[in-house]
Chains A and B, each alone.
Chain A
Amino acid sequence: MLLDFYVNQKHVTLEIKANEMLVDILRDQVGLTGTKIGCREGECGACTVWLDGKPVNSCLIPAAKVQGRKVITIEGLGDYENPHAIQEQIAKFGGSQCGYCTPGFVMSAAALLRDHPDATHEEIIEGLSGNLCRCTGYVRIIAAVESLANPSVSIPLPDEV
């Protein structure tokens, strides 16, 4: 079947199978491999993208579901030359180790701060609760996001520890 949708504000038309998942066509057909596959069952959040502006698990969404709709992936938020503020802060705070979960966290955090620019510590924990990280223990990811909501956040940076 033919799928017409928008990825990172570009109109894309693709021939897909009705039962393919959004994460697979983003990675394999559109070539955007920043979106990661972790659990494939909606538990880990590594595949988080925005659908019509809201973070969703692209591993649980049949690609056919996004017909005519707008998808934003991590590549649409920032890249090496022009990182998103959250990417910069996560790097600065040492919130990324193996890095596999990071794109998903950035997608969740960016939506959270867009909707709640002054999110509290608790709201940040809740907003990131659909993303798993097995390296960092979360403290530095949360601090990185919190530093944008509340600039006075204090945690030793990696080069100070």
Chain B
Amino acid sequence: MWQQYFTPNNLSDALQLMEQHRDRARIIAGGTDLVLDLSNGRLPPVESLVDISQIPELKKISVNGSKLSIGSGVTLTEIIQSDLIRQKAPLLVEAAREIAGPQIRNMATIGGNVVNASPAADMVPPLLVLESEVMVTKPSQMMRQVPMARFLQGNRKVDLEVSEVVTGFTFTVPDPPTLFYFRKVKPRRSMAITMINIAIFLKVEDKRIKDIRIAMGAVAPTAVRLHTMESELVGLPVEKAVEPARYFGTDQDIAPISDFRASRQYRLRVARNLLREAVTELLSNFKS
């Protein structure tokens, strides 16, 4: 457990505290994962926690030109209630809704969901298909931006140095004809951790798939883009895209393990079926 707890109310104070305490400190936001991990010893003990959940700079949701930015301290409830996010990137709202229950969503943040680096994190596949960049800051340095796919380095591992803070996420607002899909396979409706989740970004033009981005979670050490399947599907006429045989490529993009939530075989089968069902549903509007 920790002996000191700081509640800075601006980012520069938080950064200074991290610079001062370095690996003896950790950032805490909502704390819904971190508190448990520190209490049960799954994370090594730290001397200090630096709480960034009340820093106004990290709680902004804003559009700047073609970019939508979401501060790392925005809670899942705030995402669900944001008209801006619902209009511009509704799959983030759908993903946030699927996480835990109201009490957790009132505390848990989008930044925490990503930095916690669980392969099953539900905000991650949507951010991957939006090709979001992660904004990272450390004391006395310029902010750096890392593409989401590179930020995720492995199970419980992200590209974040001691004393660095994730300040938010930014992505290009998709044009209106873009279709989105999010679905989470889970053993019950609430308070359940993902067995597999999927996010899709799809553009159709003249009854052909013009652009498709697919990401899945809980099927590899990090959530992954399904590049093989994306290139298999892009350019196809709507009728051909829904043929079941096309979806065997799913196996090449993912590497699920067996754990207490689901077996490898189950995940492989569900991943393939889930993707086919999702694409079929999205394309059903375009069939002649």
Interface, chain A (partner B; CB < 8 A): 1, 18-19, 21, 41-43, 45, 48, 51, 54-57, 60-62, 64-65, 67-68, 108, 111-112, 126-127, 129-131
Q: Is the CB of B102 within 8 A of A42?
A: no
Write out the residue numbers on chain A whose beta carbons fall within 8 Å of the beta carbon of B51. 62, 64-65
Q: Is the CB of A42 within 8 A of B1?
A: no
Contacts A61-B31, A68-B7 known; 18 new A-B pairs at CB < 8 A: A18-B2, A18-B3, A19-B1, A19-B2, A19-B5, A43-B191, A45-B101, A54-B77, A56-B103, A60-B31, A60-B36, A60-B104, A62-B35, A62-B49, A64-B7, A65-B5, A65-B51, A130-B104
Q: How far is the CB of B87 from chain A (nearest CB, A)?
A: 21
A67 to B53, CA, bound (A): 12
Q: Which residue on B lies nearest to A127, using beta carbons?
A: B102
Q: Which of B5, B36, B103, B107 contacts A18 (CB 8 A)?
A: B5
Write out the residue numbers on chain A whose beta carbons fall within 8 Å of the beta carbon of B103. 42, 45, 48, 55-57, 108, 130
Query: Known contacts being A18-B3, A45-B101, A65-B51, is A60 close to B35, with CB within 8 Å?
Result: yes
Interface, chain B (partner A; CB < 8 A): 1-5, 7, 28, 31-32, 35-36, 49, 51, 53, 77, 100-104, 106-107, 189-191
A18 to B101, CA, bound (A): 27
A129 to B2, CA, bound (A): 31
A62 to B2, CA, bound (A): 10
Write out the residue numbers on chain A whose beta carbons fall within 8 Å of the beta carbon of B2. 18-19
Write out the residue numbers on chain A whose beta carbons fall within 8 Å of the beta carbon of B32. 42, 57, 60
Write out the residue numbers on chain B whose beta carbons fall within 8 Å of the beta carbon of A60. 31-32, 35-36, 104, 107
Q: Is the CB of B189 within 8 A of A129?
A: yes
Q: How far is the CB of A64 from chain B (nearest CB, A)?
A: 4
